[in-house]
Chain A
């Protein structure tokens, strides 16, 4: 409610429900939304990891070997797997929502949602193939 509340004879006492901190457990859509928002933590985790990777590389072969050793620990493997699943959720939900935000019109007609989402998935696939090729070529 915004603005000044006026109480009159006919509604002397309005009832205002308190929003629980657990509102996001009330239905599945809300829970999915919160999970989607939490994926930002995984994105930050991978960004931080990439920076750490570069730092280890810059500090020489010994430091780099230590870093690789750490990557193989069960703690990291668990963290990495969970973060990867969240990143997938991040990507899929982002691409599925993209058509809502992008309302392209061609020859007076709105481009169908499937085309917008499909182009996003196609770009994702092509970039992934490109990166995989660069990593595996030697």
Chain B
């Protein structure tokens, strides 16, 4: 076991650099340390000017996503010991504009997420006195894996289509749209269809499949998108064959 490990951390200080540079830091190696621990060590002991996002330290909040040795990872669950001998390359999430050092701007994702109505919508709400909307375990099973998404955006950083085609709604937002489409309590699938089947929607996806591989919560956005392609195709055939049918 080495006593220390080197981290090559991307620095971008808009007032200093015109483009990111790599800065080396030597941190103590401990086998129970994750990349986020090393970054916090740098921040606390070596260089207080390093900027990065983090919060829960337990893979729940989705704040600490970064590129580690070229792959999108949650730094709170990426052990230093899995990236020896180093130097371990830490960079901001790919395809997002860099605000500073390891901090990226997530406005684009937040706007796209909102577009797909990721909440339960009813055509007509029933009064509270009428009780809750009941659901069977089977109905819950249909969407539960998709509901595990923590909005960490690793899937966006893994998706070359998002990098090349900025209008693409993207893996997590489509997976979350599908999460609500499959929820027996929701009645807004038609509204989401307008967004998902338009330009920038599901048809931009060419099924690279990397989004599902990097997902720390096993959400499988790639599967959700392909399944929605089948739904959208059936929807289109129905609209052509039965144009008078209710939409």
With A2-B166, A19-B164, A29-B213 given, is the CB distance from A12 to B14 under 8 Å? yes
Q: Which residues of B contact A12 (CB under 8 A)?
A: 14-15
- Kindly state whether residue A101 has any CB partner on chain B within 8 Å: yes
CB-CB nearest in chain B for A100: B223
Report the bound CA distance from A46 to B208 in whole Å. Answer: 25
With A13-B14, A29-B210, A29-B213 given, is the CB distance from A1 to B108 under 8 Å? yes
- Kindly state whether residue B28 has any CB partner on chain A within 8 Å: no
| Contact yes or no, A16 B97, CB < 8 A | yes
With A1-B166, A11-B99, A15-B14 given, is the CB distance from A101 to B208 under 8 Å? no
With A3-B107, A3-B111, A15-B12 given, is the CB distance from A23 to B163 under 8 Å? yes
| Contact yes or no, A101 B226, CB < 8 A | yes
| Contact yes or no, A19 B160, CB < 8 A | yes
Q: Which residues of B contact A100 (CB under 8 A)?
A: 207, 209, 212, 220, 222-223, 226-227
Report the bound CA distance from A16 to B163 in whole Å. Answer: 11
- Give the contacting residue for A19; candidates B12, B95, B111; CB below 8 A: B95
| Contact yes or no, B166 A30, CB < 8 A | no
- Give the contacting residue for B163; candidates A19, A97, A109, A110; CB below 8 A: A19
**What size tier do the contact residues of chain A reach?**
20 to 34
Could you give, for residues 95-129 of chain A, a 1 whenever the CB lies within 8 Å of some chain B CB and a 0 otherwise? 00100111101001110000000000000000000
- Kindly state whether residue A66 has any CB partner on chain B within 8 Å: no
| Contact yes or no, A27 B226, CB < 8 A | no
- Give the contacting residue for A102; candidates B97, B164, B220, B230; CB below 8 A: B230
With A2-B111, A2-B166, A3-B111 given, is the CB distance from A29 to B209 under 8 Å? yes
5 example contacts (A-B, Cβ-Cβ < 8 A) are as follows A2-B167, A16-B98, A30-B208, A97-B226, A100-B226
A residues adjacent to B (C-beta < 8 A): 1-3, 11-17, 19, 23-24, 26-27, 29-30, 33, 37, 97, 100-103, 105, 108-110
Given A14-B97, A23-B164, A33-B209, 20 more contacts at CB 8 Å? A1-B97, A1-B105, A1-B108, A1-B166, A2-B111, A2-B112, A3-B111, A11-B99, A12-B15, A14-B14, A23-B160, A27-B70, A29-B208, A29-B209, A30-B160, A30-B208, A33-B206, A97-B209, A100-B209, A100-B226
Those 9 A-B pairs whose CB atoms lie nearest each other, nearest first: A101-B226, A14-B97, A108-B138, A13-B14, A100-B223, A15-B98, A19-B163, A11-B99, A33-B208
B residues adjacent to A (C-beta < 8 A): 12, 14-15, 19-20, 70-71, 94-95, 97-100, 105, 107-108, 111-112, 138, 141-142, 160, 163-164, 166-167, 206-210, 212-213, 220, 222-223, 226-227, 229-230
